Amino acid sequence: MSILSAALGQWGAPVVLFSGGETRTVQAMVQPAFSKASMETKESAAGRRDLGECIYIGPPEAVLHTGDALQWQGKDFRVVRAALWHLGNNPHHCWALLVPLPGGRL
């Protein structure tokens, strides 16, 4: 078991992925996205938070693509950017930037 698999198992939550016409549930981490500059932000102890945007970190076996959708904690999101990160030649994790869907439903 990799360190990432252990972390996702301990701190991750179930996330339903809708990618390539398939539906799949994985353990992943979804957290609010923080940035230094944004047109629509809210101050917090961790910095400025873009309202609604989230970062997804999931297993490398479940690659997301721009335009895919997911559900997390009853909220629906669209993938705006995604990448498969590698350590050396080995896939390590899938990263994605998420935005809430208008109307909040798929």
pLDDT tens, per residue, the chain with 106 residues: 577 778 878 888 999 999 888 999 999 999 988 765 544 555 655 555 445 899 999 999 989 999 999 999 999 999 999 999 888 898 888 999 999 987 756 6
pTM summary value: 0.78
- Which pair of tokens denotes residue 98? 């998420």
- Which pair of tokens denotes residue 46? 């961790």
